[in-house]
Amino acid sequence: MGAYPAHVTRGFSLVEVLIAIVIFSAVVLALAGLAFQIARRTTRATDLALHMAMQRGAADHAVTVPFDSLTQLLTPDTVWSGPVRTTVRYVIVTLSTVRKDVYVITQTSVPRTPPDTIIIRRGLARDPIPLR
């Protein structure tokens, strides 16, 4: 009779190690897919932030141009940020001699992003009415 029992099991069997590797691989693949989705959505959010910033800047520009000089808005502005192209163009619709609508149309090359339009109503400043 020896000092050690006859059926002592130490460590893990090969089947247990293989099952652990398969489970670990599935978890790593799931996390890699999640990281890819997060990176794609972050890139899209950054591109749309550029789009909105361009649109807001164009609207501010359309408001600050004097009423008599609105025709200088007719040249489109294009900005490239990496592979993303954002274009702003203006359309002026004359309602009367003292009222015009300025359409600020912003388009981007980001997939599945429709063009955005802001309508700004502009009017000729009138002389103040004397208060006597």
pLDDT for the residue numbered 4:
63
Whole-prediction pTM: 0.68
pLDDT tens string 20-56: 999 999 999 999 999 999 999 998 898 889 889 999 9
User: 66-92 burial by CB neighbour count: b if 16+ within 10 A, else e?
Assistant: eeeebeebeeeeeeeeeebebbbbbee
